[in-house]
């Protein structure tokens, strides 16, 4: 079994693949500092809760956008699983070409999403990840990562509202029944959700205009992506496990014994 780990700014998402299939996945909060022993124990316990022994894990791969987590996490895998993990970074085989001026500046999360979207759904495609930031990336028909857009995620926007505006409360992020809110909470929810839908549709339209390619698929992922994808015809596919699938596909390209 192969352990795939996506270290995001908010959560660490862990997947277990066996015979090409994702058989288990779970999340750990990223922002709490942890030692290698804590990571080792948490990973072992969560695997056990999914009826998987840590002895069944034969290898691991990590894609991370949080550098200060890596030392403890890698040490945990070495100490508890006796595995030195592969890390998705510059120079690793991915299967896509990055044709931006500074390829090393492209985050590992965007690379793995692009790999999965292109290999599973084909190109050209626009890949949207509704995470801590909302990212929009274009992969052309030849499998080249052309470029992208980075915008504040829905949670970041919501946090800015209730932290920087004294009278605005912390709210649940969900789609209200109407665009025009009748009170503070529904008006905030409307601005956050319908505002994100509007941004998404506009950016997809502009990216397609600049791409000048036919039949561009739009593939979305990320925690709040399901809400947005259900409310617009501009998104063709929502795949909750896109990032883990991309990490696993990159793992297979390494030909590690």
The residues that are catalytic are: 109
DSSP track, 83-126: ---EE--TTS--SSEE-SS-GGGS-HHHHHHHHHHHHHH-SSEE
The arrangement of strands across the sheet holding 21-29 comes to 21-29, 11-18, 2-7, 59-64, 86-87
Instruction: Tell me which DSSP letter residue 54 carries.
Output: G
Decide: helix, strand or coil at residue 28: strand
Distance between CA atoms of 201 and 118, rounded to whole angstroms? 21
CB atoms within 10 A of CB 4: 29
Contact 221, 126 (CB under 8 A): no
């Amino acid at each position: 079994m192969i352990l795939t780990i996506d270290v995001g700014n908010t959560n660490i998402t862990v997947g277990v693949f066996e015979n090409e299939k994702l058989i288990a996945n779970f999340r750990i909060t990223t922002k709490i500092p942890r030692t290698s022993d804590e990571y080792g124990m948490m990973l072992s316990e969560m695997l056990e809760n999914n009826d998987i022994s840590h002895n069944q894990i034969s290898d691991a791969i990590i894609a991370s956008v949080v550098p200060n987590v890596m030392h403890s996490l890698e040490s945990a895998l070495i100490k508890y699983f006796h595995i030195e993990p592969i890390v998705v970074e510059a120079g690793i085989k991915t299967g896509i070409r990055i044709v931006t001026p500074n390829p090393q500046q492209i985050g590992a999360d965007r690379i793995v999403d692009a790999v999965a979207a292109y290999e599973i759904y084909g190109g050209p495609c626009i890949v949207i990840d509704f995470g801590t930031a909302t990212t929009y990336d274009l992969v052309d028909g030849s499998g080249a990562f052309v470029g992208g857009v980075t915008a504040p995620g829905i949670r970041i926007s919501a946090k800015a509202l209730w932290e920087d505006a004294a009278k605005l409360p912390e709210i649940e992020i969900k789609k209200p029944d109407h665009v025009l809110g009748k009170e503070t909470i529904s008006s905030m929810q409307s601005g956050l959700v319908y505002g994100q839908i509007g941004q998404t549709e506009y950016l997809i339209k502009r990216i397609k205009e600049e791409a000048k390619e036919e039949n561009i698929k739009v593939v979305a992922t990320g925690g709040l992506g399901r809400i947005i994808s259900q409310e617009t015809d501009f998104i063709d596919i929502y795949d909750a496990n896109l990032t883990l699938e991309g990490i696993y596909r990159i793992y297979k390209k390494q030909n590690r014994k």
